Structure 1
């Protein structure tokens, strides 16, 4: 779902302080904020990497004061920023200081023009679904977590296959052995799920993607299910242990007998998009859709 972006009085900065390009990128944003009369705050995580003329505040305060948060880094930085924003609904814009940067909409070379367009109010919001997972042990809820890309159940540090059972709306698809399972949003369909053989979904698709990881069964294939489907994974035997990871960053340890229940989350992430932002164009450019270019073409 898309809608318009409200006027921006304050920009918040979140980023990867290890990126050498960060100080120069922040200076570009600060110059444009000065020109447009827009306030600028940065996360205290960036304080050591920035000039003293940029005010830094803790992440919870940054979320409260910002009308939009600009994430400077790669896709990992975008995913961390989405987690920091939580349920706030504050829009998120990604600036690519990394390599692939599939989620980051703005190449650093186009940053100045992008900020001008942003502050002129010529962007729109693309609201992306999240996936929610809860862990149950002995009938008690142990933990819960949201992800923008995916939730992944993985085997432990030693390569021992997991004995799992997948049920959809209470109907069992049977037990199987494998390295784990990925439950992704349409946004996450171009990430780990794609590497595991899952399909690519347009972000507007109302559903979730289930992609088994190296299943020892020819019948356990990736599935696209309705967003209202109750997905449940029962861990019958974990061998050397297992974990549930959130966007590849936050981990919850799992044990034999645990149940992990997945569904579409109640809250969305609002991504800032530009007039030239097109899903299929990004697919072609960043994932090299269609293969390599022939010589002379």
Structure 2
């Protein structure tokens, strides 16, 4: 597993380091910027790769093999938060830092403006950027006690009813203790990073990104007594559908990964992997909240 070079959480990129570019697929602006960034990095002595499942950026190599991905020292994302989450999936738990530039709308994960792309990259190349850890979550999907798959997420995991199904009846457990039995359209388990995504839209709380907790939020619950629940991330959460629920979708960071039935159990814990974000030393989370969400704005 490749490790990010760091000294006191400062990003260090020696010359000839491997850097991958992941860009927003559907916009020509992102592709054009990716070409310019690739040229800039090569001029400064770096080996540049295009991330998997993208059109190859001219003058770069395609990052396809495990060896190439393991060797990466930095991933640069040009897009929105969806593009950033795609880059996280590509890394498959490798603790390689990501530097994100916002070319979308909100941009919580891609916190740097694309208007300052080259100034920020130059700062990163000269050891002037910091690495900030973010916790991730992992889920095991079990069927009759046997694993059907393991899934890691930076933002959230969602159990939701299909378009033709009724409300989901779900039992929620924490460390084997019953929390509640809830009927709802779905359930969100969000990390602190993901608390400002679907969780917030569903009425869940904002969590500071360094908080060692998860939040469980029901989507449109069939009871006014169902409220978001914050639990320590050292806890083990599990979700079991009752026999009246025919099917449910299981979604990881916005991507459907499998269908669930009453024979399945979803067990959620903190991932053994942390994600590393590249941030300016003066980056302040509360400034980001005010800029992106107009947090506390009375006007």
TM-score (norm 2): 0.91
Aligned length: 290
Alignment RMSD (CA, Å): 1.8
Q: Any idea what SS the aligned residue of 2:205 has?
A: coil
Mapped partners of 1:68, 1:204: distance in 2: 22
Mapped partners of 1:182, 1:102: distance in 2: 18
Q: 1:62 to 1:76 in 2, by over 3 A?
A: farther
Poorly superposed stretches of 4+, deviation over 3 Å? 59-62, 237-240
* Structure 2 match to 1:43: 51
8 Å contact 2:136–2:154 — kept in the other structure?
A: yes
TM-score (norm 1): 0.91
**Is it true that 1:16 corresponds to 2:24 in the alignment?**
yes
* Structure 1 match to 2:186: 180
* Structure 1 match to 2:297: 291
Q: Any idea what SS the aligned residue of 2:59 has?
A: coil
Mapped partners of 1:12, 1:243: distance in 2: 32
Mapped partners of 2:198, 2:258: distance in 1: 18
8 Å contact 2:169–2:241 — kept in the other structure?
A: yes
Superposition pairs of residues 58-77 of structure 1, within 5 angstroms = 58=64, 60-77=66-83
Unaligned residue ranges in structure 1 (runs of 5+): none
Mapped partners of 1:169, 1:53: distance in 2: 52
What is the deviation of 1:118?
1.0
**Is it true that 1:160 corresponds to 2:128 in the alignment?**
no
Superposition pairs of residues 129-278 of structure 1, within 5 angstroms = 129-237=135-243, 239-278=245-284
What is the deviation of 1:139?
2.0
Mapped partners of 1:181, 1:44: distance in 2: 31
8 Å contact 1:156–1:240 — kept in the other structure?
A: no
**Is it true that 1:123 corresponds to 2:123 in the alignment?**
no
8 Å contact 1:155–1:238 — kept in the other structure?
A: no
8 Å contact 2:20–2:76 — kept in the other structure?
A: yes
Q: Any idea what SS the aligned residue of 1:130 has?
A: strand
Q: Any idea what SS the aligned residue of 1:211 has?
A: strand
